[in-house]
Every structure is written in C-alpha cells, then in structure tokens.
Structure 1
C-alpha cells in the first residue's frame, strides 16, 4: 500500500472522507513541490556547471564544447520533465501556477537586496535561458556564486513559466 492510500485510510477512519481528501490533496501538493524543487535544483546545478565551463575554458576547445552540448541536452530534458508535470497537474490543481509565482517572488525579493544583481537581472530578463546563455554568463561573470545562484534559479523558473504560458497551461 502506498503512502497516499495509508493517509486516506488513517484519516478517513478517524475523521471522515472529507478530511482524508484534503489530506491527500495536501500530500500530493507536497510531493509535487518536492519533485519541482528537486528538478529545478538539478537544472540549476547543471547551469552552474555550464557557467563555470564557459568562464574557465577557452571556448575553442572541442572537448569543452562537447561537454557544453551534453549539459544543454540534460538541462533541456529536465526542463521538459518539469513542463510535463506542470501540464499534467495543472488540469486539476492550481498549485503549479502558485508554485512558480511564489518562488519567483521570493527569488526576486532576494535578488533585489543587491542593486547590481537587480540591474543584471533586468539586463538579462528577456534573454532566452538556453540559446543565449553565453550572454548571461558575460553579464554575471563578476558576481559571487551567492548572487549567481538565485539569478539562475529565477531565470529557470521564468523560462519554464514562459513555456507554460506559451502552451496555454498558465494563463497569460
């Protein structure tokens, strides 16, 4: 018996089906949030690896370009997984839209504490995360990782949110 079935059974025995359904919905939202957090963290780590690869190596080297292409494929694959989950869950649950809005607001608040980081974010706000990543690296290259990480996470969420809006999953 899986976790959700156990929760439903336990709560429905104690309080009734109405409470059990709410508990299941809450548990499902927690699992979705954990999944989204995990994949966004994974994408962020891979973007940081690509960021460091671009900063630290001459771009003419064949091996680093090969590595960069593989990282880009990995990032695209995981973004597609997040989009798939958002498409699937958004039909019955507005949680996904709220997740993106809340996390983007929190990251934006964190970034806006530093004027230079906020200015850099404004400069790269309209840039495509994957196709124009070298431009992003050029703008963020002088920042510490503590500033780069929230900006990259914000850009990841923004990129995914734009794709969801384009597909009509999140209202424009």
Structure 2
C-alpha cells in the first residue's frame, strides 16, 4: 500500500510540474504575441506617417513604456520560477530557431537580420523600421517576434539566469 501511495504522489507531482510548465509556455506565448502586436502597430505608425509629422524615428514614448513594462513582467516571472529554468531555456532556444528559420528562407531577409541583429529593440526601433519597411507583413511579424525573444534572452543571459 505504501509503495502505491508513493507512486501516486510522484505521478501527481509530475502532473503538477507539467501543468506549471505548460502555463509558463502559454504565458510567454501570450506576452510575446502582445509585444509583437504593439510593435507592429508602432511599426505601421512610423511607416505610414509623413516625415514632417513624425517628430522622431524612435519608438513612441508610451509604447516604449508598455513594451518595457511587459518585458519586465516576463523577466520577473522567469526569475520567480527558478525550478522551470530548463523549460524557459528550451522555449527561447526553440522559438529563436523557429523564427530564424522562417526569416532565413529569404536571402534579403537573412541579410536584414544580420544588419539588425545587434540593434536594441527599443532604442534603435527607427533604424529597424527603416531596414524592414520593404518586407511583407508576415516576415515583419517573424522579425519582431525574433527580436523580442532575442531581447528577453539577452537580458536573462546578462542576469545569469540562463547561460549565454
């Protein structure tokens, strides 16, 4: 009887951990999508504004605050859930590879990615928009998601949460 209760507890613990990891992945998916949609809107605002109306090539201050706040929430969750670091590491690795493979199918897109790879998503957003404005919306979406995931991954690496 004691053996089966231990096995039952182990199965229950495994199910809880699995559910927790799925919720973390779902949370990350939702936040990355949210950030992407907001950056897409700002991207469209910049590309559709006549130059004399656009006061800056940088990302708008309100949207910048929103993006920073949500990236901070993602970082907070990941730091808080130390037991799930392997899941987070796998999530970022898989998504970076998936977005990169979608982008690298087009030689021009691959070249553009190399040019913007080292840029800061928020502070260099005007330059990113200038480089990506001739691409299709679908490719731009992959670029933005790639840059969001890369930005968060770099921040986690700098904090020592995940290895570089």
TM-score with structure 1 setting the length: 0.85
Q: Distance in 2 between matches of 1:58 and 1:168?
A: 43
RMSD: 2.1
- Measured after TM superposition, the shift of residue 171 of structure 1 is 1.4
Give matches, 1:7-156, under 5 Å. 16-58=8-50, 60-61=52-53, 68-89=60-81, 91-93=82-84, 94-156=86-148
**Structure 2 segments unaligned to the other structure (5+ residues):** none
**Structure 1 segments unaligned to the other structure (5+ residues):** 1-11
Deviations 1:21-69 (A, max 9, x none): 111111001111111100000000000011011111135547999x921
Match of 1:167 in 2: 159
Work out the number of aligned pairs and report it: 158
Q: Whose relative contact order is higher, 1 or 2, with alpha carbons under 8 Å and at least 6 apart?
A: 2
Deviations 1:56-99 (A, max 9, x none): 1135547999x92111111111111111111111x212111111
Q: Distance in 2 between matches of 1:171 and 1:85?
A: 17
- Measured after TM superposition, the shift of residue 107 of structure 1 is 0.8
Q: Distance in 2 between matches of 1:131 and 1:112?
A: 24
